[in-house]
Amino acid sequence: RKIVFVTGNEDKYREVKEILEKKDIKIIQKDLEYPELQEDDLEPIAYYGAKWTADRLNMPVIVDDSGIFIEALNGFPGPYSAFVEKHLGNQKVLKLMDDETVRDATFKSVIGYCEPENEPIVFTGKVEGKIAYSERGEGGFGFDPIFEYQGKTFAEIGDYEKNKVSHRMRALEKFYEWLD
């Protein structure tokens, strides 16, 4: 089975490829920009992104819309995660968290799958953790250096361990179980 993964993010692509290849699903990356709705949650963004790209490419596609939801910041940056990472970065996020003792955060990934002319379907995966007090680790990407899972950041545990527990793996697991 072959599915096109529409993303401009090489790190997401690497993780998705590694996870799905173990399930004999071949992934091809296509960097096609699609309209991202302004919504409070990620599901509608993935839903419309999958529909839009499947119809344009005329192939079965997946998209991944993800983000980090910080409890003390009322869920921010959530659907604005890409913007915040690009324009503010981890140091400024840590600064916003300076006086906060409640450090809980949730990483969420929504995989949208769509076949041309069909309705899309979305699969949500979550992992709970804490915002660290400083960036730690060399692996991963994006918010990984500040997201602590069981005492270590996602950047410290590396791809292999991350892919066993991540929000993305949990969403993809629902997806390939549904495919079967």
Binding residue for ligand ITT, selected from 52, 168, 172, 175, defined by CB under 6 A: 168
Whether a cis peptide bond, with omega within 30° of 0, leads into 79 is no
* Complex with ligand ITT: residue 18 or 117, whichever CB lies closer: 18
* Complex with Na ion: residue 27 or 82, whichever CB lies closer: 82
Binding site for Na ion (CB under 5 A): 82
CB of 57 to Na ion, least distance (A): 17
> Is 87 a known ligand-binding residue?
no
Catalytic residue among 65, 99, 104, 159: 65
Count of residues in contact with ligand ITT, rule CB under 6 A: 19
**C-alpha R_g of the chain:** 16
Residue with tokens 């990984």: 144
> Is 143 a known ligand-binding residue?
yes
65 is catalytic: yes
Non-local (6+) Cβ contacts of 170 within 8 A are 109, 125, 126, 127
Q: Is 82 in the site for ligand ITT (CB under 6 A)?
A: yes
Distances (CA, A) of 77 to 6, 31, 100, 164: 23, 24, 16, 24
Q: Is 143 in the site for ligand ITT (CB under 6 A)?
A: yes
> Is 31 a known ligand-binding residue?
no
> Is 141 a known ligand-binding residue?
yes
* Complex with ligand ITT: residue 54 or 180, whichever CB lies closer: 54
Looking at the DSSP bridge assignments, the partners of residue 28 are: 4
DSSP structure string for 48-94 = HHHHHHHHHHTS-EEEEEEEEEEGGGTT-BGGGHHHHHHHT-HHHHH
Interacting residue ranges for ligand ITT, rule: CB under 6 A: 7-9, 12, 64-67, 81-82, 85, 140-144, 154, 166, 168
